[in-house]
């Protein structure tokens, strides 16, 4: 099981994905997801130019050693590009090793700790009414947890809301779109949206909302207090994530559960927030968090502090990365909730999943490996199309967090 090749395949079936393939001298192949939305080629270059040549000839069964070689062996550590690159390699190795043994990856992680994985979708609309219609339709499909977002009156383009009638996709233009943000309008609006959701649809489901890094700690505390009567499952990213200590202020002001982590990449990004119990759910996806090898360490630390998982599952995590999330969701004791945003139709012409999402729950069918097939010929029919995430400016033109 010597590594013969490490290749990167970047394609755009409906949206961009960066996939790493590792092949061994005995004919085994594994795939991993390294998609970093709007920065796909940076990860591709990191893998292809800097790591792939160093792994040829390595024993593919030594996942732990290869992880340490890629992480500890590099002087320049951490960060989203590096950790997504390491993750893609790590996922491909878990996929390959599980295929070699003829078992799903979760069997290598000790087996299932639950019968199904609870998933939440995105519910959204240009008006409160439209968002609630969407939410009601998802409840009718069987979902028992919903993320609800809607257009903020006075803010022309809101995070999480499509521009026209198409599905929402944040990276939708070649150069970054400029969006406009108004914190006051959001502070006025969100409690109304959440109240209307509970008034209209009741309390028989878990309710989530993503603040997308836009409040100060005191604003977030104010907001959390206003949401308390509506029993939120979580308020996500109330403040920018890089300031772990800010969550102490949020915590001191509200009992609303807080979910954070989709832009963290390493245990060192969240060590303080975890050990000081500043958050309730941790959202680092396998794809951006150094792979299964590293994320399970983070989740084990989180468990010691009573923090549960809420792994990011936006459309920019490929179906392979999602399957890697599921492998952990199945096996950890501290599962909380799994995001499942969904994919454009064309994505399914390249990726064939063996997981099922039905009635708001995810189940797997026992296929060896991560359980997602990647069709390289189909991928070649969808050449890479670069897309950027938007940027945010305030009314006065000053830059703001997106
Ligand atoms: C989420 C996220 C995403 C991000 C996206 C950026 O909660 O799923 O906030 O929608 O905006 O991953 O690329
Ligand atoms: Mg988010």
Q: What are phi and psi of 178, to 5 degrees?
A: -100, 115
**Which tokens go with 277?**
């119990």
Q: What are phi and psi of 201, to 5 degrees?
A: -110, -5
Q: How many CB atoms lie within 10 A of CB 238?
A: 29
Q: Measured from the CB, is residue 312 less than 6 Å from ligand 1?
A: yes
**Which tokens go with 231?**
């029993």
Assign domain 108-375 one CATH number from 2.60.120.260, 3.20.20.120, 3.40.718.10, 1.10.10.10. 3.20.20.120
Torsion of CA 104, 119, 260, 329, to 10 degrees: -20
Statement: residue 388 has pLDDT above 90: yes
120 C-alpha to ligand 1 centroid (Å): 14
Q: Measured from the CB, is residue 37 less than 6 Å from ligand 1?
A: yes
Please tell me the residue having the least CA distance from ligand 1 atom 5.
314
What is the rounded distance in angstroms from the CA atom of residue 185 to the CA atom of residue 190? Answer: 9
Please tell me the residue having the least CA distance from ligand 1 atom 11.
170
Which of 46, 159, 186, 230 is the catalytic position? 159
Q: Measured from the CB, is residue 269 less than 6 Å from ligand 1?
A: no
Burial class (CB in 10 A: 0-12, 13-18, 19+), 139: middle
Predicted local confidence at residue 71, as pLDDT: 98
Which of 122, 209, 212, 294 is the catalytic position? 212
- Report, as an integer, the average pLDDT of 367-378: 98
Statement: residue 243 has pLDDT above 90: yes
Please, which pLDDT band fits residue 165 given cuts at 50, 70 and 90?
Answer: confident
Mutate to test the pocket of ligand 1, among 208, 213, 264, 314 (most ligand atoms within 8 A of CB): 314
Q: Measured from the CB, is residue 263 less than 6 Å from ligand 1?
A: no
Statement: residue 163 has pLDDT above 90: no
In tens, the pLDDT along 107-136 reads 999 999 999 999 999 999 999 999 999 999
Q: How many CB atoms lie within 10 A of CB 267?
A: 20
Atom of ligand 1 nearest to the CA of 341: 8
In tens, the pLDDT along 175-211 reads 999 999 999 999 999 999 999 999 999 999 999 999 9
**Catalytic residue list contains 212:** yes
Q: Measured from the CB, is residue 322 less than 6 Å from ligand 1?
A: no
Residue ranges of the domains in the chain?
3-103, 108-375
Predicted local confidence at residue 158, as pLDDT: 83
Please tell me the residue having the least CA distance from ligand 1 atom 1.
314
Contact 335, 114 (CB under 8 A): yes
- Report, as an integer, the average pLDDT of 378-387: 98
396 C-alpha to ligand 2 centroid (Å): 26
- Report, as an integer, the average pLDDT of 295-306: 98
**Catalytic residue list contains 159:** yes
**Cα-based angle 278, 310, 88 (whole degrees, multiple of 5):** 110
Q: Measured from the CB, is residue 209 less than 6 Å from ligand 1?
A: no
Atom of ligand 1 nearest to the CA of 159: 11
Residue 67 half-sphere exposure toward CB, CA atoms < 13 A: 22
In 3D, which of 255, 251, 239, 256 has the Cα closest to residue 277?
251
**In sequence order, what are the beta bridge partners of 24?**
3
Statement: residue 238 has pLDDT above 90: yes
In tens, the pLDDT along 308-351 reads 999 999 999 999 999 999 999 999 999 999 999 999 999 999 99
Q: Measured from the CB, is residue 40 less than 6 Å from ligand 1?
A: no
What is the rounded distance in angstroms from the CA atom of residue 43 to the CA atom of residue 17? Answer: 11
17 C-alpha to ligand 1 centroid (Å): 15
Atom of ligand 1 nearest to the CA of 314: 8
Task: Classify domain 3-103 by CATH number.
Answer: 3.30.390.10
4 C-alpha to ligand 1 centroid (Å): 35
Mutate to test the pocket of ligand 1, among 17, 162, 212, 309 (most ligand atoms within 8 A of CB): 212
Q: What are phi and psi of 124, to 5 degrees?
A: -155, 165
Mean pLDDT, the chain, rounded, equals: 97
- Report, as an integer, the average pLDDT of 344-359: 97
Predicted local confidence at residue 145, as pLDDT: 98
Q: Measured from the CB, is residue 241 less than 6 Å from ligand 1?
A: no
- Same fold: 3-103 with 108-375: no
What is the rounded distance in angstroms from the CA atom of residue 31 to the CA atom of residue 372? Answer: 9
Predicted local confidence at residue 166, as pLDDT: 84
Q: Measured from the CB, is residue 210 less than 6 Å from ligand 1?
A: yes
Statement: residue 45 has pLDDT above 90: yes
Atom of ligand 1 nearest to the CA of 212: 9
In tens, the pLDDT along 129-155 reads 999 999 999 999 999 999 999 999 999
């Amino acid at each position: 099981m010597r590594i013969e090749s490490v290749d990167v395949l970047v394609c755009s079936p409906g949206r961009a994905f960066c996939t790493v393939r590792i092949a061994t001298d005995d004919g085994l192949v594994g795939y991993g997801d390294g998609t970093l939305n709007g920065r796909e080629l940076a990860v591709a270059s990191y893998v292809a130019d800097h790591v792939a040549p160093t792994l040829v000839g390595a024993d593919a069964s030594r996942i732990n050693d290869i992880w340490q070689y890629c992480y500890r062996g590099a002087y320049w550590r951490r960060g989203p590009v590096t950790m997504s690159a390491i993750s893609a390699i790590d996922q491909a190795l878990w996929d390959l090793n599980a295929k070699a043994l003829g078992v799903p990856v979760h069997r290598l992680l000790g087996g299932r700790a639950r019968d199904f994985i609870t998933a939440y979708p995105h519910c959204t609309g240009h008006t409160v009414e439209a968002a609630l219609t969407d939410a009601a339709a998802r409840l009718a499909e069987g979902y028992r947890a919903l993320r609800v977002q809607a257009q903020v009156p006075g803010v022309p383009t809101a995070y999480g809301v499509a521009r026209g009638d198409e599905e929402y996709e944040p990276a939708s233009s070649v150069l970054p779109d400029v969006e406009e943000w108004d914190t006051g309008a959001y502070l006025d609006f969100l409690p109304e949206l959440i109240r209307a959701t509970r008034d209209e649809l009741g309390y028989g489901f878990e309710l989530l909302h993503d603040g997308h890094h836009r409040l100060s700690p005191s604003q977030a505390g104010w907001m959390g207090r206003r949401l308390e009567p509506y029993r939120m499952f979580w308020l996500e990213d109330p403040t920018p994530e890089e300031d772990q200590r800010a969550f102490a202020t949020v915590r001191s002001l509200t009992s609303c559960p807080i979910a954070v982590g989709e832009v963290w990449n390493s245990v060192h990004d969240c060590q303080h927030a975890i050990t000081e119990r500043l958050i309730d759910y941790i959202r680092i996806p396998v794809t951006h968090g150094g792979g299964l090898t590293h994320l399970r360490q983070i989740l084990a630390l989180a468990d010691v502090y009573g923090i549960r998982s809420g792994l990011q599952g936006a459309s920019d995590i490929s179906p392979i990365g999602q399957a890697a999330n599921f492998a952990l969701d199945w096996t950890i004791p501290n599962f909380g909730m799994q995001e499942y945003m969904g994919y454009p139709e064309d994505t399914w012409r390249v990726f064939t999943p063996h997981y099922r999402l039905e009635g708001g729950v995810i189940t797997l069918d026992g296929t060896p490996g991560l359980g997602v097939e990647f069709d390289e010929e189909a991928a070649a029919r969808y050449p890479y199309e670069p897309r950027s995430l938007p940027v945010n400016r305030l009314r006065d033109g000053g830059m703001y967090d997106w």
